[in-house]
Chain A
């Protein structure tokens, strides 16, 4: 099942940063790739919180999303590491543990759904990198960018590599290459692979600790004069963007890769939803 992708929105992008949703729709349209609407999809559900509360609920709700994509005969594409992590791992569990698949399908039958395990869970950055490819992306860059960019991979994009097999966990390259395809420079910085601090329910339960992790990252970004952070996860995005309210003096704009591609592909500014950003984007 490839060529078309069911567009999985998740919660944080459409409800906090609609620019991420719109920019993604627009860049895939420019690239000539069909995104199928996944009406009625729910929360992925969030790996850090819902999976921490109850794995059965987590698995069943993830399976509902996968079953909806299966009905459309498409793979599912996310714009968020959390959604990617949750649905990828839930899919992996169901595909490798028939007893879990059965349990989940018993629950899904109550709402008239069934999941057979035929869907692949994809991350949009991985779709860009593998299915669309650098050459085609570079050909669509109308407005080459000239920034020093600090890439933030986040935790649930390439990890855990035992199930994802996408890139090296300590020195991944995918995002650096995707960012550099726009003409920008991906700069190195200390603890580049470190977590933003938000995951695992830490942001909601112990915001102070989450902020201290974020501040470590921001300090390291400032040292190398990063002009912006580019992320591939609305939740990391929220953490970096909104936390700068509590951590003044950094003023580092936070841009999702879809928005960066929007800039490079020449999308009008008002399609990027930058007004929703707490940390002003003066670029």
Chain B
């Protein structure tokens, strides 16, 4: 709280942080379109997730323009986007909204904001090279149908899995899944 000249208390308004804005703009392909947004709200109106929740696409883009890091990175809203691209198709300014959300999510993860369920998916990746765990009944069904028990992927392929894991380690993904900064 701060006190206005008249003496009434007001809620403190977050200060813009241009350094964070720059980081988003340079955070990956699409980031450079951030400042093109003129806040028309077409994205929010197109969003299937925003229809059902308090997530507002336009608002996240505005916060990113202002660099309001602490309002964006820990928020659950950031994770309500299904990456459906409806907003991207309709944005009159060709803002790469979904790409910007990817950049923000990557930043959130690096700061340690990651849901337990998402860490599990990361673990499956490190174990089998797949997002979902292997289920015995499906492997049995595969055999019954005349397919090889293991598909010809990283699943059950030691050399391929080693390579796959090595790439993840090289990129620091294993440490990231443990919540550490890269």
Contacts and interface: CB of A to CB of B under 8 A. Distances in A.
Interface string B71-104: 0000010011111111011000010001001110
Interface centre among B28, B29, B88, B153 (most CB of A within 10 A): B153
A190 to B, nearest CB: 13
B152 A18 contact: no
A135 B170 CA distance: 48
Contact of A111 (B101, B141, B167): B167
Given A52-B106, A275-B141, A202 B49 contact: yes
A252 interface: no
Interface stretch (B9-17, B35-43, B56-64, B128-136): B128-136
Interface string B133-162: 111001001100111000111110101100
A201 B101 CA distance: 13
Interface of B: 28-29, 48-49, 52-53, 76, 79-86, 88-89, 94, 98, 101-103, 105-106, 109, 114-115, 117-118, 120-122, 125, 129-135, 138, 141-142, 145-147, 151-155, 157, 159-160, 163-164, 166-168, 170-173, 176-177, 182
12 contacts: A14-B153, A21-B147, A40-B154, A41-B160, A42-B164, A43-B130, A45-B131, A55-B28, A56-B171, A93-B29, A202-B80, A270-B145
The 9 closest A-B pairs by CB, nearest first: A40-B160, A14-B151, A11-B130, A199-B82, A42-B129, A159-B85, A155-B84, A111-B163, A195-B84
